[in-house]
Amino acid sequence: MKILITGGLGYIGSHTAIQFINAGHEILIVDNLSNSKLDVYKSIKSITKTDFSFEELDLCETKALISVFSSFLPDAVIHFAGLKAVGESVEDPIKYYDNNVGGSISLLKAMEHSGCHKILFSSSATVYGVPEYLPFDEQHRLDPINPYGQSKLMTELVLKDWAKSKETNQAIILRYFNPVGAHKSGFIGEDPLGVPNNLMPFISQVASGRLEELKVFGSDYDTRDGTGERDYIHVEDLSRAHLLSLNNINKIDSIDYFNVGTGSGYTVLECIKAYEKESGKNIKYTLAARRDGDVSISYASANKIKEFCDWSPEFDLEAMCKDSWNWECKTSI
């Protein structure tokens, strides 16, 4: 198939691009480089030993996007492009609605124009908000607690109406839990600009000495050791979920929703311990106050995606830390 990947030079998009190329698909990446580097394009080509096209373009530029679609004529789109910093979304919500919702609407216009009817969309567990029960299943109430999560839910709603508007339209919504880890080669991985917001990249940078110490946000949660618990998933497993989902897209009527997580959670202290074991480094940390907007525990019920496309995770926390450390060692030199 010919697959157009938006945000394909970013963290999850780049890993997914490699899996699609290796599976024999022809891809084209559209990215505005707002949170990625051109080097990633070279790395994907060198890892896959395959040439493919990249367009540096903002999704909101509908005219230019239509022209890219008209010449590539994709069979399907995988839509990763979006802004994802929760704190920034609270400070500048319009930027998030404009880029994430506006960009998605522009994308649908370009798809419509070129007769492309299939899309996979990167949504997030944040659409559920505070858990009413656990594990989160796809029926859980949707009630995001910040503009980033709202922008994901709004896009889901737009896609729902789009999918139902024509018999040929099909959308798969993948709600990711906590993607971590990196490609085995160590040549691509998560490369956040500035000080990382997320736990794993922060731990990596403490391990390599780029950062002094980790602050553990909250040690009085109702969990095994009092620290927050999350469902971490290896980015390679997450990428493979896209490949299997797209292979099975014709099984769905118009739109369907799938959690992508492992189904079990690890606490912050368990992550630190696992990372210390894999890296052989001491991770310095202090216990600090809870972070605003954090839930105590979040993990997925991943039964639905397993049933849909026979996907299940292959990598455990050990592998996530090992691959993340391999990538950190290469980038922090």
Residues marked active site are found at 148
Residue 303: exposure state from Cβ atoms within 10 A (0-12, 13-18, ≥19): middle
Residue with tokens 């492009």: 81
Q: 109 near 103, Cβ under 8 Å? A: no
Least separation in angstroms between residue 143's CB and ligand UDP is: 16
Least separation in angstroms between residue 235's CB and ligand NAD is: 8
For position 199 contacting ligand UDP by CB under 6 A, the verdict is yes
Least separation in angstroms between residue 269's CB and ligand NAD is: 20
Piece in contact with ligand UDP (CB under 6 A), picked from 88-96, 191-199, 313-321, 323-331: 191-199
For position 152 contacting ligand UDP by CB under 6 A, the verdict is no
| Element containing residue 26 per DSSP (H, E) | strand 26-31
Least separation in angstroms between residue 123's CB and ligand NAD is: 7
Per-residue x/- track, 271-310, ligand UDP (CB under 6 A): --------------------x--x----------------
* β pairing state of 229-230 and 266-267: antiparallel
For position 45 contacting ligand UDP by CB under 6 A, the verdict is no
Choosing among ligand NAD, ligand UDP, none, which partner's interface includes residue 216 (Cβ < 5 to 8 Å by kind)?
A: ligand UDP
For position 123 contacting ligand UDP by CB under 6 A, the verdict is no
- Which alpha helices (H) appear in the chain, and where do they start and end? 11-22, 39-48, 62-72, 86-91, 93-96, 103-114, 147-165, 199-207, 235-247, 268-279, 303-309, 317-331
Which residue has its beta carbon closest to ligand NAD?
A: 10
Least separation in angstroms between residue 262's CB and ligand UDP is: 14
The site for ligand NAD (CB under 6 A) is made up of: 6-7, 9-13, 30-36, 58-60, 80-84, 99, 103, 122, 124, 176, 178-179
Choosing among ligand UDP, ligand NAD, none, which partner's interface includes residue 291 (Cβ < 5 to 8 Å by kind)?
A: ligand UDP
Give the residue among 245, 212, 221, 235 at the shortest CA–CA distance from 311. 245
Grouping H, G, I as helix, E, B as strand and the rest as coil, residue 1 is coil
Which residue has its beta carbon closest to ligand UDP?
A: 228
Choosing among ligand UDP, ligand NAD, none, which partner's interface includes residue 99 (Cβ < 5 to 8 Å by kind)?
A: ligand NAD
Choosing among ligand NAD, ligand UDP, none, which partner's interface includes residue 80 (Cβ < 5 to 8 Å by kind)?
A: ligand NAD
Choosing among ligand UDP, ligand NAD, none, which partner's interface includes residue 76 (Cβ < 5 to 8 Å by kind)?
A: none
Choosing among ligand NAD, ligand UDP, none, which partner's interface includes residue 102 (Cβ < 5 to 8 Å by kind)?
A: none
**C-alpha–C-alpha distance, residues 129 and 142, integer Å:** 7
Give the residue among 256, 305, 301, 289 at the shortest CA–CA distance from 131. 301
Amino acid at site 60: C
Contacts of 66 (CB under 8 A, 6+ apart): 109, 110, 113, 114
Side-chain-facing half-sphere of 40: CA atoms under 13 Å: 28
**C-alpha–C-alpha distance, residues 181 and 275, integer Å:** 11
CA 23 to chain centre: 20
For position 214 contacting ligand UDP by CB under 6 A, the verdict is yes
